[in-house]
Chains A and B, each alone.
Chain A
Amino acid sequence: MKIHEYQAKELFAAAGANTPKHIVVKTPDEAAAAFDQLGGKGAMVKAQIHAGGRGAGQLKGYAEKLGGVKFVSSREKAKSIAAAMLAHSLVTIQTGPEGQPIKTLILQADAEPDKEYYLAMTLDRALGVPVMMASAAGGMDIEKVAHETPEKILRVPVSPETGLQTYQARRLAFDLGFTGDQVEKVEKIMLALSKVFLEKDASLAEINPLAITKKGDVVVLDAKIDFDDNALFRHKDIEALRDLGEENPVEVRAANANLNFIQLDGNIGCLVNGAGLAMGTMDIIKYHGGEPANFLDVGGGVTPEAAIEAFRIILSDSKVKGILVNIFGGIAKCDLIAEALVKAGREVGFKVPVVVRLEGTNVDKAREILNGVKRELPMIQSAAGLTEAAKMVVAAAKA
């Protein structure tokens, strides 16, 4: 689960990190008032969306060059920039061409950076423990730094029981080149990062940039936190920060039906049991010249109701020209899937070909069921094997 920049900063601030003062606003008038509250000399207006690259982004359909981050030096400017942002979608390298509507802004006290650093914490999968990462090459595309000059990123494994220790933070601070009283200031931010990461079950927590300001302060200038969905059951406070408006509505609907669904750009819908097989099914569609419209794992204990909802969701995408149902019956019995398929066909109505490949537990019973409805539901086509199924659905989608 993702949260907004301002929410991440508030969590870090509560854990002891120095963050520039900000005020959350939802209207141009609130922006003007916030400008005054912050001292009336200057402030940053920052669009709050769940995507990176805001500064370099562009408001969709806005005549002037304006992204999601802008310094303003007057009350009037704060109001007009806020009005522009709140009226447009923001397109960044992470949003796709449609962009993301901006509903919330922050006005942030001016904290002009003199030098920028990168600081983050995530899981080191190979070590099986969290790791803190830091780099003096901050503010830039950190993936590029990691790829081209990995030696510029310092990595410190952190014990999941005791968290980052002060000596580790101190060493990192010196290794990054901090001096004087700034060492202690950056230590505090590192310890706060570790505390939030471990206490709130984050999967990625990023401070980019961490900045030394022109006045000599060390501050969290931008922040991002992703949380481990599997741990939300013990963090009601974090779950309350969820902004469903930032998520794909179709994916939210699928999640409510206990379906694991991800929307893609192709025209062949997929309904599969098991995440690995679901990915493999997308791959074989592509291999035979098609493009998958979605990833969908219906899980092992799929009910007829969930299967019907799955078909509704797939068919709600007007791009879909064919559907591939690929079930390997283990615990999920093939005959139950076939019955759900028939029920879905009757309730939803199949307007595109549905190619079905079933294998495993009770497959013979399932084939009988599908044979029995050939006339009633002519869009259902049985395939003998996985390769044949993929070829059939690719051909159907091209027809």
Chain B
Amino acid sequence: MGEYKLLLRHSGDPSYATLDGYQRQGGYDGLRKALAMDRQQVIDEVKTSGLRGRGGAGFPAWIKWNGLPKEKTKPHYIICNADEGEPGTFKDKQLMETCPFLVVEGMTIAAYATQADVGYIYIRGEFVDAARSMRRAIDEAYRAGLLGRNILGSGMNFDLHIHTGAGSYECGEESALMSSLMGERGMPRLKFPHAPLPTISGLWDSPTLINNVETYACAPFILANGGAWYASIGASTKNSRGTKIFSVSGHVNKPGNYEVEFGTPLMELLEMAGGMKGGELKACVPGGSSVPILNAEACQKAIIGYEEMMEVGSMVGSGGCMFLNEHTSIVDFIWRTSIFYKDESCGKCTPCREGTRWMFLILDRIRSGQGRMEDLQLLEDVCRQIDGRSFCGLGDAAAWPVAGALKVFRHEFEEFIRSGRSLAARA
């Protein structure tokens, strides 16, 4: 099926990051159309489009958009989650650096649909280039009357601010992000059904919409061309519509971001990225470090789609796709994964704080050649104790890659424990 460049079509053109260049390519047609519709019609277009959240969870975007009260009694807020931190993912970075107006326009459309007064783009602190690009775009949009008071003469007011993080993976979790935005430690907050949804009570107890960068960047196209048109892309899949940007890295010849239509085979993505480097394909983590690893056989069968990926035992996730060649030790790779989650666990809840540490300790013992066969069962047990029991998704995300690798590459763990070393890794 090849690449399907929708969001990234003009990514290589530097003028696309300027308002003039953006408008030459149809920029702000979506907002103009949206402002001529009533709010509910805008939400209905998003519903028709079948757009699902691109941050990792794949939640239908329109349900969030529709969830804010229609009768406004408090300020409404919208947030763009640009705290891209999932290992292997770098799509939001490129979107913000090269297509910043897609994000600004997408957020403005969402603000109109949800009656939001103020928006925040929460960008991770390390992404200075992305933040500078967003800053230039926001400044330009203000100058042109596309942000601020009475946008395009419609009477709509919308202020957009940048707020940066300061080094914390956990802040990509939406409730932790809101804690951080409100000036707290980046820890998750009590969630539905134990607390109201953010759309009812989010930032400062006000109705709040939060979406990923790529999700907002889809909105201008959906409004400009219609939800039905968008839904025709990826229609071969069960319930995934449109395009998805995959950040391909690891042992490939041409690492980079590749945008594909849902329904594209995973192996085509590998081809786009120039094929394997340094050896045959052994494994792939298709959607960021949190999703279960696939072996080469499963990669052959995998189709890119939210449900389709689950059928082969993994997930689309954030689209951080790491291909690993035959010389990679899976034990070593999963050991490194466990370090990440141990370091990034915020410490709020016991299953995640203690569980991620124990997973690391056991994997470290195996990797150092001191592993025992019963460690594998112990690891599985720890995974079970974390999965579904942690306060937020970070715990689940830490357990899945370990549990997945133990299922798919168990023989390699056993081999490692028996011999005390990796037989896969090159000497």
A, B: real partners: no
